[in-house]
Amino acid sequence: MSRTDETDAERKMQFLFALRSKGVTNPRVLSAMEEIDRGPFVRGLFAERAYEDMPLPISCGQTISQPSVVGLMTQAAQINPRDKVLEVGTGSGYQAAILSRLARRVYTVDRHHKLVSAARELFEAMDLHNITTITGDGSRGLPDQAPFDRIIVTAAAEDPPGPLLAQLAIGGIMIVPVGQSDAVQSLIKVTRNEDGFDYDELLPVRFVPLLEGLGQD
């Protein structure tokens, strides 16, 4: 094993240890996060910090979430291999890439065309062919593709958005940060049942706000 291989292996072990220490214990989620290298999703000045458990800035004033939060959100969604998943907020594409290893089909939508294009290129380079990337207003979801078994929102809304709740299948789960954008938000798990919705508060988080309309790239 070369020195570089040893360094990569050690870095991956530390990465997975950090995830476990923050509560990411689901074997399928850990396996997906081991398989999907975060490195290609972090570019420019912060590339060397790709394996640290911290959020990092990306283009269009957005961020790539810290890996432990990605892991905890994914774990809370309880994704099954046959699920159809909607992600609102493509960002770097990292979360969608993780989801692609766990679900049958992933639809990811972002209001910034520049981010969608960059993510699509990465997905193609990584042979992730079960992801559909769309430029659009994520707060409205994708009614043409609904219902979804799982929905993950990577931007904070003041309340779980009505259009997204409506697009959740019976028995489906949505993970969404809720709260004012300049304060600590709460990560909420919404489960749809025959009678309505159940809400569980998971942990405090901090995300960029969920905005309506398309971004000015």
Query: Do 115 and 109 contact (CB within 8 A), yes or no?
Result: no
* Distance, C-alpha 59 to centroid of its chain: 16
Whole-angstrom Cα distance, residue 178 to residue 59?
A: 23
Whole-angstrom Cα distance, residue 70 to residue 4?
A: 27
Whole-angstrom Cα distance, residue 91 to residue 33?
A: 17
Tokens of 10: 């050690």
Active-site residue, from 2, 59, 65, 186: 65
Annotation says 117 is catalytic: no
As separate numbers, helices (DSSP H) first and strands (DSSP E) second, the chain gives 6, 9
Whole-angstrom Cα distance, residue 205 to residue 186?
A: 6
Whole-angstrom Cα distance, residue 158 to residue 209?
A: 9
Whole-angstrom Cα distance, residue 126 to residue 119?
A: 11
Q: Which residues are catalytically annotated?
A: 65
